[in-house]
Amino acid sequence: MMNTVVMEQRKKIHPHKFTLWVGIAGILMMFAGLTSAFIVKRNQADWKPFVLPLTFWYSTAAIVLSSLTLFLAGRAYKAREMMRYRGLMTATIILGVLFILLQVVAFMQLYAIGEKLQSSVSISFLYVIVLLHGAHVIGGIIALIVLYAKAFNLKTKIYNSVPVEVTSTYWHFVDVLWIYLLLFLVMIN
């Protein structure tokens, strides 16, 4: 009887994972709405195409590499290799911050050529879409920092992988979302 109860509990999704997936669905709906509005507005007469700075591609490399380091960190955590886990988490956080810094540089480049937030509808969409994504990345960086800090708690000897899995899923999601948004902005513009 006890074995059946344990098996049933293992089949259920963890509440934190369920909440994450609900949040991801909401974020997907928001960006689907924004990209749909972008497509509709693009057909208006006052639409002005824009050119994305090359720096956006460099930031893409940073976030893709951060997903790789986070994947490896998750494996290290599950193997209880805490030194390796801490090192890979450090690399992930640095790459995440680098992504944000490169995004700021890209916007500075846009601003320098006169592409300000209200210079056109198309540029306004670009700013809103990319800045909203950046806000979600900053949220992910905060979660990564919290996990990193917990890795130094010497009192805890229980290796609960749920926080690592939830944060990893979210981070990989914002990575894939950025790739989609970048390709969308390049191809649809």
Q: Which domain holds residue 147?
A: 57-188
On whether residue 116 sits in a domain, the answer given is yes
The residue with tokens 């690592």 is 164
pLDDT of 145 reads 97
On whether residue 28 sits in a domain, the answer given is no
Name the amino acid, one letter, at 91: A
For residue 17, what are the CA distances in angstroms to 66, 134, 139, 161, 165? 21, 22, 16, 12, 8
Please tell me which residue, 167 or 6, carries the higher pLDDT value: 167
Q: How many domains does the chain have?
A: 1
Can you give the CATH number for the domain in which 106 is found? 1.20.120.80
Residue 13 carries which DSSP code? Answer: P
pLDDT of 104 reads 97
pLDDT of 128 reads 95
Cβ contact 156:150 at 8 Å: yes
Name the amino acid, one letter, at 130: V
The share of the chain scoring above pLDDT 70, in percent, equals 93
pLDDT of 91 reads 98
Q: Each residue of 82-125: pLDDT tens digit?
A: 999 999 999 999 999 999 999 999 999 999 998 887 778 899 99
Cβ contact 144:89 at 8 Å: yes
SS3 of residue 4 by DSSP: helix
On whether residue 149 sits in a domain, the answer given is yes
How many beta carbons lie within 10 A of that of residue 7, not counting itself?
9
Whole-structure pTM over 0.85, yes or no? yes
Largest Cα separation within the chain, whole Å, is 70
On whether residue 49 sits in a domain, the answer given is no
Residue 8 contacts by C-beta under 8 Å, 6 or more apart in sequence?
none
Q: Each residue of 55-89: pLDDT tens digit?
A: 999 999 999 999 999 999 999 999 999 999 999 99
On whether residue 52 sits in a domain, the answer given is no
- What is the pLDDT of the chain when averaged over all its residues? 91
